[in-house]
């Protein structure tokens, strides 16, 4: 897609937004089921339960839909602007993982 002026029909977000959130939750849970089946992780951590992935996905994807609606309403080039915002947020989301991976771990080889 080019960054040309494209009209965003915000009325469609009334059904497309919740559908997007639902599809993202289903996708996250499918990946979770496959990962647990393949990797057999320790079940003790709470993050491996069902609640945390559902809640995080619900909140964050709803936020993304809201940002899309705002960008679609106010930006001159909404798709290009949203893609830029999404890329920056994705890159920033890697920072905690990189910091954790580079942290010293006593006893680890």
User: Is residue 4 one of the residues assigned to a domain?
Assistant: no
Higher pLDDT among residues 107 and 58, named by residue:
58
User: What pLDDT is stored for residue 21 in this prediction?
Assistant: 98
| 64 has pLDDT over 80 | yes
Flag whether 106 is in a domain. Answer: no
Q: What are phi and psi of 92, to 5 degrees?
A: -65, -35
Domain that holds residue 71: 10-99
Identify whether 107 is part of a domain. no
The tally of domains found in the chain comes to 1
d(CA 97, CA 105): 14
Does residue 108 lie in a domain region?
no
Is residue 3 in some structural domain?
Answer: no
Mean pLDDT (whole number) for 98-105? 82
**What confidence score (pLDDT) does residue 45 get?**
67
- The pLDDT assigned to 58 comes to 97
Q: Locate tokens 């106010």: which residue? A: 74
**Nearest-CA neighbor of 27 among 60, 66, 68, 63?**
60
Pick 7 or 14 by higher pLDDT. Answer: 14
Query: Does 43 map to a domain?
Result: yes
The per-residue pLDDT for range 27-37, each reduced to its tens digit, is 999 999 998 89
State the Cα angle at 104 between 100 and 87, rounded to 5°. 20
Assess contact for 52 and 32: CB atoms under 8 A. Answer: no
pLDDT at 80: 95
Is pLDDT of 44 > 90? no
As a whole number, mean pLDDT of residues 80-108 equals 89
**What spatial distance separates the first Cα and last Cα of the chain, rounded to whole Å?**
46
């Amino acid at each position: 897609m080019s960054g040309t002026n494209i009209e965003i029909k915000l009325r469609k977000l009334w059904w497309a937004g919740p559908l997007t959130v639902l599809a993202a939750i289903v996708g996250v849970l499918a990946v979770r089921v496959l990962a647990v089946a393949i990797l057999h992780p320790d079940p003790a951590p709470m993050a491996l339960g069902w609640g945390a992935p559902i809640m995080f996905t619900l909140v964050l994807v709803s936020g993304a839909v809201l940002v899309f609606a705002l960008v679609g309403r106010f930006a001159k080039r909404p798709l290009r602007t949203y893609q830029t915002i999404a890329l920056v947020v994705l890159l920033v989301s890697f920072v905690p993982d990189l910091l954790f991976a580079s942290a010293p771990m006593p006893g680890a080889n």
